[in-house]
Amino acid sequence: MSTDAAPSNLPPVLRPENPPLRSLDDLAARFAREVRGTTEGRSLSGITLATADLRPGEAFVAIRGVNRHGAEFAAAAAAKGAVAVVTDADGAELAADAGLPILVVDDPRGLLGELSAWVYGTGADDHLPLLLGTTGTNGKTSVSHLLEGILGQLGVVTGLSSTAERHIAGHVIVSRLTTPEASEMHALLALMRERGVEAVAVEVSAQALSRRRVDGIVFDVAGFTNLSHDHLDDYADMREYFEAKLPLFHADRARRAVISLDSSPGLEVAARCEVPYVTVGTPDIAADRDAAAGADWVVTVLEEHQDGTRFELVGPEGRTLRTTVPVIGEHMAANAGLAIVMILEAGYAWDDLVAALEGQRIDAHLPGRTERVSGDRGPAVFVDFGHSPDAFEKTLAAVRRVTPGKVVMLFGADGDRDATKRHDMGRTGVEGSDILVITDHHPRFENPESIRATLIEGARMARPDAEIHEFSPPERAIVEAVKLVGDGDAILWAGPGHQDYRDIRGTRAPYSARELARRALQNAGWPVPEPHWPVPYPADRIIASDPTRPID
């Protein structure tokens, strides 16, 4: 695979190379309740919410933000070659002097998916690749990458849109958001279609559904992984968070569904699902073992090793498949089982799945998902993206099962995000490890000392006598953590995963937990493999003298 390097540390917005030209008159007739200025004889080739991403010939959709209205930037859009502004009545007044035709709609945000589908020809009735969408608190990125890997083993040309990366027929681009804005998502699908992609795995967050980023898209199969404590900075409580995910299983968004029963909300998802569905369960990790055991498809772990987890999937009519997912953990076997059943429900033949996977390893790379960055000798170091108490619990348990020595847990917490889970993060971290190391993650505009103090407080409440260390910045923390371990021990560094930056007071500082861990091991005298990820700063710098300053 090749990798595109963005000109800044914000990845590029993707567009089809040969977008269809749409008449501005047609757009106005279909969507606008009022037109100010003339649209006659004009055409558009795309649509965007952001002037920074706007290309000549595109329409600028101006929506009201938290602090400002997008229509304030209409003049900037005109200077960059916009052909029209689509906005609400308030926006129309703000954009009046931009010199562009203005199409007035009642709810530009709510209309963006439908508009984008029309502009790019990516609606439900258009010829698109097969679409597989996965939602849930944990596992949706892993399922998406596993879907892509398994489909590749079936000989399918694939696309992917996940928290970690976008893939287009083998081409890799780093992601901006878990799920792009609707205009970006439809442009991405149009580009994938151009490049011959046959099936696309899409990670669908609750925020994507709430903020209408997947409007205008109908998934051939929707998958549900689980629901646990997270994102209560965006949602009032767990009920509201659950309800935000449920629309993916409505008839206007999916044709079929596969629902995991490993967390208790899975039963309610199944009860309220509006499309044909099947269930999958992993009794050994399920909240309700009996419910999971009664699923249509059951996953059972057979063996666990530091480089993979072998499992069995058993379903209707005695169908049985034994294969290996290339990461540790019963929860990863559950993710792989869900992915296999989603592909089966999408119409691929069971015999073909067996031929590709039986007795084999699933050929998938899961960036930053319990990713081992250490060598064959010395302590095992795993870097993981998990940042919720449930993810900590499951991943720590997996690391424990494959580690003969002690387990060190290293993590921090997001600033300006759900603070209600921090005590539980500290609790699960200390309960599942022998030694806890607390550091920083994305402080954003919060005081990192305060974040660390809350994590430590949660840990001390659970285990007052535990060995707990606090180091800042994380560049130092991983060096100190490596000093605490030897051959046969393990470190789980949770939170940063694949990410190549830290958010410090609005600045994205170049950063790679995978590379920092690798260098810390190397400097301690342990053998390490060559990196397979981009290195964002020179090899002779490991610790930043100032944690608020990017490493240069």
Q: In what order do the strands lie in the sheet with 407-411?
A: 371-372, 380-384, 490-494, 407-411, 435-438, 467-470
The CATH T-level fold of domain 130-357 is UDP-N-acetylmuramoyl-L-alanine:D-glutamate ligase (3.40.1190)
Question: Which superfamily does 21-120 belong to?
Answer: MurE/MurF, N-terminal domain (3.40.1390.10)
CA max distance for the chain: 75
pTM of the model: 0.83
Q: Is 165 helix (H, G, I), strand (E, B) or coil?
A: strand
Q: Are 177 and 36 in contact (CB under 8 A)?
A: no
Q: β-strand 199-203 against 130-135: which pairing, if any?
A: parallel
pLDDT given at position 497 = 84
Rounded Cα–Cα distance for residues 215 and 212 (Å): 5
Other beta carbons within 10 angstroms of residue 534's beta carbon come to 13
pLDDT given at position 327 = 94
Rounded Cα–Cα distance for residues 254 and 275 (Å): 7
Rounded Cα–Cα distance for residues 446 and 415 (Å): 5
Q: Are 529 and 504 in contact (CB under 8 A)?
A: no
pLDDT given at position 544 = 43
Structural domain boundaries in the chain:
21-120, 130-357, 371-523
Rounded Cα–Cα distance for residues 283 and 286 (Å): 5
Burial of 370 (0-12, 13-18, 19+ CB in 10 A): buried
For the record, the structure tokens of 539 come out as 């090899």
Q: Which segments within 179-269 are labelled E, that is strand?
A: 199-203, 221-224, 257-260
Phi and psi at 279, nearest 5°, equal -115, 155
Length of the chain: 552
For the record, the structure tokens of 337 come out as 């089982």
Q: Are 475 and 543 in contact (CB under 8 A)?
A: yes
pLDDT given at position 179 = 62
Q: Are 258 and 341 in contact (CB under 8 A)?
A: yes
For the record, the structure tokens of 217 come out as 């898209």
With CA atoms as reference, report the closest residue to 500 among 461, 471, 536, 469: 536
Rounded Cα–Cα distance for residues 79 and 110 (Å): 26
pLDDT given at position 164 = 72
- Sites in the chain below the pLDDT cut of 70: 1-12, 174-179, 230-231, 534-552
The alpha carbon of 25 is separated from its chain's Cα centroid by a whole number of angstroms, namely: 38
Q: Which residues pair with 380 in a beta bridge?
A: 490
Question: Which superfamily does 371-523 belong to?
Answer: Mur ligase, C-terminal domain (3.90.190.20)
For the record, the structure tokens of 451 come out as 């974040």
Q: Is 465 helix (H, G, I), strand (E, B) or coil?
A: coil
Q: Is 41 helix (H, G, I), strand (E, B) or coil?
A: coil
Question: Would you say the C-alpha torsion 285, 288, 294, 295 has a positive or negative sign?
Answer: negative
pLDDT given at position 541 = 46
Angle at 86 between CA 84 and CA 88, to 5 degrees: 145
Other beta carbons within 10 angstroms of residue 347's beta carbon come to 10
Rounded Cα–Cα distance for residues 280 and 178 (Å): 24
Asked if 21-120 and 130-357 have one fold, the answer is no
pLDDT given at position 350 = 98
Angle of the 330-345 helix axis to the 140-153 helix axis, nearest 10: 60
pLDDT given at position 72 = 97
Rounded Cα–Cα distance for residues 280 and 316 (Å): 11
For the record, the structure tokens of 515 come out as 């590379």
Phi and psi at 354, nearest 5°, equal -65, -45
